[in-house]
Amino acid sequence: MSSRALRRLKGEQRAQADLNAFKLADEDDRDDEGQMKSDKTAHKQKNISNIFELIGEADVDVSASDEKAEGISDGQQEGAPLEKDTVKNEKSNKKKKKKKKKTSAESGRDDLSVGDDIDAFLETLEKKKGLSYQSTDNSASEHRPVLYVEHRNLNPETELKRYFGARAVLGDQRSKQRQRQLHRCTWMTVFKDTWPRFSRPGISMSLVESKDGIQHFTFEHNRDYQQVQFKFFDAVESMDPNNFVVLLQFNPYHIDSLLQLSDVCRMQEDQETARDLIERALYSFECAFHPVFSLTSGTCRLDYSRPENRAFYLVLFKHMLFLEKRGCPRTALEYCKLILSLDPDSDPLCMLLIFDFLCLRCHEYTTLIRLYEEWEVKNSSLIVHRNLSQLPNFSFSVGLSYYHLSQQEDISPVENQQLKQKSNVLLQNALIMFPGALMPLLDLCTVQPDAVVSSHAFFGPSSQIGQPPALSELVSLYVGRCHSLWKEAELMLWLEENVRKVLKRVDSHDPYVEDCQNKRKQRYQSAPRNIHRHVLMSEIKEATATLPLEVTTQPGMSFDPLPPLDSIVSYIRPERENMGASNESTLSLFFRSLLPNFNLQRPEDRQEVARAGHELNQEVNRLMVAMRDMLANIQFREPQWEDNHDRDEEEWD
């Protein structure tokens, strides 16, 4: 039985108890016909705070009035011999009335006991549901999967209410709720009154297969949505953001247009509009969910190789970044779990590179340690996904989590010592495995390192220069993202202490140092495509500068960054009537730069003009190459003046 049904039952029982009490009072009034009116008015004027006081006072008044009325009538009619019989009858009648009242009171008490049981049951039910945010249900959370997602934590208002209170967060929304139109109830976002009227844009979700308890879903586009998608590709080629605005006026819930326009607003520092567009796209996706699709089960999968599914990944990722910047790291962590649970094997957006940062931001240290212990495997072939000790962010963050746990006040001294020792070992191993992370970390924290540390060869410039390219990318990503977590004075003292211990181990030729050096040389030669995709979407300048040329030189779009090589295409865009820009003449390209819809070619001579334009482009390219070579070979020499004193001075006039 739900909590709402239990509360309704409780209210009905209380109402029934009150009704019985009033009925009892009415029966007493009917039996006491001889009671005077003054007594009744005085009884009504009393302030009664409890229904049981009403019952008790009615008993006293009724008994008193009965005694007076019967005493007077007996005294007037007969003498003393009859008084004994009348007194006995009166006593028996009073006893019967008292018995009736006791039974009614006992029935009311039984109703009360049932109500108390319901209250206790509701309290236990609320505790089980976890309405309080504090992690008091540790025993229940330990039995859940590490990527378990809770619906209540997907709403950022839950976290903001805990920080600022419900009145500060909701504001005037409570008074406007009655005037709000009815919309579909969603978990990830709420429909806003400022949004356009929602109509299904043409996206649906279907179940592909269900195998071994895992359900594979995919999004699908109907024919109308495909036509809008083709118009979106034309708008992208025009390189004009106004075309996205026009497209959204007629299709306000087109996903890729919302993504692209959100990036344009973010580049223009309009964060509020950019976040609102992402939330609108998220609402459109959630309205298209399959009835069986679940956000919390952890058994639903979406294939990233399908373009229809990639947009959902990107919307969740951008929404997570906005939540973290908004100051809701706990909600952002829940979305990180959701994205990771959609495809934990391949991890297309490489959410493991940000999972530790969000856990440290919201003080979920046990969650990070549990993921590290469950997913860490001794398999050297899985360098990025599962062998988490080979990722710089997990190597440093897990040790930092143990240190924060050791600083808690509600632990014993023995446990404190164990956690502190564990954190020291993990931090030292991280510094030995990734020595190139120390100096950039201290630089971003504006800390001047000790002369002994900066002059040592292990942490010197050679440690950064000699890093493989993939390792340099991972280290730069961690330092650029997590350097703010190390700015506390206590953490810097702890870091300094362990750095000195590492230098002693290096000078004493610890075999672990040589083992880590061999691992760095053998591994991290090239990063997977999902790491490059994560770096591009994170937009951390320290990590973006380390991307290889084959990634930076590729033409990438923000609505689909670095698409997978094995992409599954459901429908193909038809060829346009106008030929591509490479087959057009120079004059046509010039006019197209001014007017994107300009077309100089006629249908009957399109092939001839295209061939002539292609030849003209080749000739222009050859001419440009020749001029470039000529300018590169020009050498300027200083003139040599001859000593001729007989030359005419007027020749310079």
- DSSP notation for 1-37: --HHHHHHHHHHHHHHHHHHHHHHHHHHHHH-TTS-H
Distance CA 88, CA 69 (A): 16
Give the sheet arrangement for strand 214-221, strand by strand: 203-211, 214-221, 300-302
Per-residue confidence (pLDDT) for residue 163, from 0 to 100: 78
Per-residue confidence (pLDDT) for residue 159, from 0 to 100: 82
- Between residues 157 and 318, which one has the greater pLDDT? 318
Sign of the CA dihedral running 97, 100, 104, 105 = positive
User: Which residue, 75, 45, 77, 73, is CA-closest to 61?
Assistant: 45
Sign of the CA dihedral running 65, 70, 73, 76 = negative
Confidence of residue 63 (pLDDT cuts 50, 70, 90): very low
Secondary structure (3-state) at 207: strand
- Between residues 330 and 572, which one has the greater pLDDT? 330
Check: CB of residue 147 under 8 Å from CB of residue 295.
no
- What is the arithmetic mean of pLDDT over 619-638? 62
Distance CA 231, CA 247 (A): 8
- Between residues 358 and 13, which one has the greater pLDDT? 358
The 10s digit of each residue's pLDDT in 475-486 is: 999 999 999 999
- Between residues 630 and 299, which one has the greater pLDDT? 299
Percent over 90 (pLDDT), the chain: 42
Confidence of residue 241 (pLDDT cuts 50, 70, 90): confident
Which tokens hold the place of 152?
């209540």
Which phi-psi region, left, alpha or beta, contains residue 269 (left: φ > 0; alpha: ψ -120 to 50)? left
- Residue 17 pLDDT > 80: no
Per-residue confidence (pLDDT) for residue 324, from 0 to 100: 93
Q: Which amino acid is present at 58?
A: A
- Residue 32 pLDDT > 90: no
DSSP line for 129-159: HT-S-S---HHHHHHS-TT---GGGG-HHHH
pLDDT, mean over the chain: 76
The 10s digit of each residue's pLDDT in 154-212 is: 988 888 888 777 777 666 555 555 445 556 677 888 888 899 988 888 999 999 999 98
* Angle CA 251–193–159, to nearest 5: 110
- Residue 22 pLDDT > 70: no
